[in-house]
Structure 1
Amino acid sequence: MMVFGWRRKNARKKQQSTSNMELLIPNHFLCPISLDLMKDPVTLSSGFTYDRSNIEAWLQAGNFTCPVTNQILTSFDLIPNHNLRKMIQDWCVENRKFGIQRIPTPRVPVSPTQVSDVLSSLAASTRSLDQYECLDLVQKMKKWGNESERNRCCIVDNGASAVLASTFNAFATDSFERNAIILEEILSILDWMFPLDVESQIYLGSQASLRCMLWFLECRDLSSKQNSIVALKELLSSDQQHAEALAIIEGVNQVLFRFIKDPICPKITKASLTVIFCLLSSPSSSEKIKSAFVKMGLVSLLIEMIIDSERSTCERALGVLDRLCDCEEGREEAYNNCLTWPVLVKKILRVSELATEYSVSCIWKLNKYGRKEKVLVEVLQVGAFQKLVLLLQLGCGDETKEKTTELLKQMNPYRNGLECIESVDFKNLKRSF
């Protein structure tokens, strides 16, 4: 019994000393750049091997030399070192008792030649409106893009967005319903290609393409709605002409309003607010659109949304409200809502610099183009004067500064007996937002 106890005790000590041993990684398994175990070893023309992600970052940073030898590379080809990768995997398996996990076999990155071949085939199939061949090619690119960020960059860099947008326009012109599947697949890929180049915007901004995306917003599932509204947001944000083209499509106001009234998901809500903002900023059709949105009840919806929404949503909602205050109907709705003044004043210096600018602009417009005395009295009663003074002290843009100064001058005669200060709004304020 004593001998057995000694052996058991000795074995326990030996096991503990083994577990405390530092596991040494063979030097040739380490990337010379990061000194970490290589997951995807590739060899340069200099003969030295690096982990693919590290050497790609080195080359993309504008370096033309081998990191070890500092010699100029004769070729930028990255040749997979399959033997070394297999050795590393075997070593990981042998040392799994130390918690080492086997490195999975990496997928071979897509090459520019492969992308170009697929895009050429896609363009040819588009000309004949071969939906099934196009769908196979689009799904092939989607699969490549899902494998790695490097593949996505390679696909984008070789002009995929213009070809895909052209294909989308062609099938949208042919039929939304008949070609819905291929159209949805293209939008799902374009979602990670923004911002688009000018050629891509022309195709995606055509009347057929815009009507197709609007149809998706009305009739298709959540994923298609999300991809469509994001595409519209990107288009309208890049060029005001797209806003004018979208504005003439019947039913667009109602669809966008429903996304604000009955939210589906935050991404769609934010994108919808951006699209509405761009439509309201369109010089040729803004007055008509503003009136339509006001009659639907958008002003009250925005004020309720601003109360407790997170930063980016609040900024967008305030921006839309600011645009609606440009028209008489919008201002009238704002006057009649008892939450208008508390909400606008509350958001000054509380959300972001942009939110502050929009809040001040709304108050300034409601005062300048409407019931001046009523506006001045009501904003004073919710603490606007001290907030605007503090805003000038902390600093703001020139346009906001002018509006703030004008408001303060007009408020000053009404201050006695009316002014209210909410101290919580002045706690922990910093100069930068």
Structure 2
Amino acid sequence: MQTLKRVIEASNTRLLEKLNPEFVKQMLRVLKLKISQQATKSALQNLIQICILGRNKSKIVEANTIFELVELELEKPEKSISELIFNLLAHLCSCAEGRAEFLRHAGSIAMVAKRILRVSPATDDQAVCILSFISKNAATKEVLLEMLRVGAVTKLCMVIQADCPTYLKQKARGVLRLHSNLWSDSPCIAVYLLTRYQR
């Protein structure tokens, strides 16, 4: 897996754009088998590396990768693996089909909410990014109420109060502002309203 990672890093972009879907399936197989921490990391790094090229994002989504990523994160892996999982999820949720697959997993929003402020600043950044993609582009009433019910709205309010970078607080505020009318009955929104004009 590490050798394959080096090959991908050195490969021609045009070649990587034409990867066979079987490649994605094999990376997913490595994630499922949990051969070792290093193999898992390499598989995730390989998927992140190819994700932004050509139709690879669609191939990764179509392989049911998002479901497996959520399941893997629910097992609370080590910090470096969580960071890679959230990095890949953020990439995949930037497209409509990725967001649709993300929302098909019953525990996806709850998992993201639970991990905010518990893993690392890098994970917080990607988690807020995921919630931002969802709230801006897939915000049905059902999804927004789910965000409230599983604590995602509360966590966004906590990000504003926590010792987080200013840009991340602004990103969290942006999500809260989008749907504050629907979420206004939540006790945590009172905290958000008190801090919304802070720099």
Shift, 1:371, TM fit: 2.7
Q: Which moved more, 1:252-261 or 1:346-355?
A: 252-261
Highest Rg: 1 or 2? Answer: 1
Using a 3 Å threshold, how does the CA distance of structure 1 residues 417 and 390 change in structure 2: closer, same or farther? closer
Q: Which residue, 252, 258, 281 being the options, matches 2:52?
A: 281
Shift, 1:349, TM fit: 0.5
The 5-angstrom pairing of residues 23-422 of structure 1 reads 226-232=1-7, 235=9, 242-250=12-20, 251-282=22-53, 285=54, 288-307=55-74, 308-393=76-161, 394-396=163-165, 398=167, 400-417=168-185
- Letter paired with 1:320: L
Shift, 1:249, TM fit: 3.7
- Letter paired with 2:80: S
- Letter paired with 2:170: E
Richer in helix (by share): 2
TM-score w.r.t. the length of structure 2 is 0.82
Mind listing any 5+ residue stretches in structure 2 that lack a counterpart? 190-199
Partners of 2:35 and 2:44 in 1: how far apart?
A: 13
- The percentage of aligned residue pairs carrying the same residue is 25
Q: Do the aligned partners of 1:260 and 1:272 also contact (CA within 8 Å) in 2?
A: yes
Shift, 1:333, TM fit: 1.1
Partners of 1:231 and 1:374 in 2: how far apart?
A: 43
Using a 3 Å threshold, how does the CA distance of structure 1 residues 329 and 420 change in structure 2: closer, same or farther? same
Partners of 2:179 and 2:187 in 1: how far apart?
A: 10
Q: Please list the CA deviations of residues 272-326 of structure 1 after superposition, one character each: whole Å capped at 9, or x if unmatched.
A: 10111111123xx0xx212222221101000011121111111101111111112
Aligned CA RMSD, in angstroms, stands at: 2.3
Partners of 1:230 and 1:317 in 2: how far apart?
A: 16
Q: Secondary structure at the match of 1:351?
A: coil
Indicate the structure whose relative CO is greater, using CA pairs within 8 Å and at least 6 residues apart: 2
Partners of 2:152 and 2:135 in 1: how far apart?
A: 13
Using a 3 Å threshold, how does the CA distance of structure 1 residues 267 and 414 change in structure 2: closer, same or farther? same
Shift, 1:335, TM fit: 1.4
- Count of residues paired in the alignment: 186
- Letter paired with 1:296: A
Shift, 1:243, TM fit: 4.8
Q: Do the aligned partners of 1:325 and 1:331 also contact (CA within 8 Å) in 2?
A: yes
Residue 68 of structure 1: aligned partner: none
Partners of 1:326 and 1:414 in 2: how far apart?
A: 24
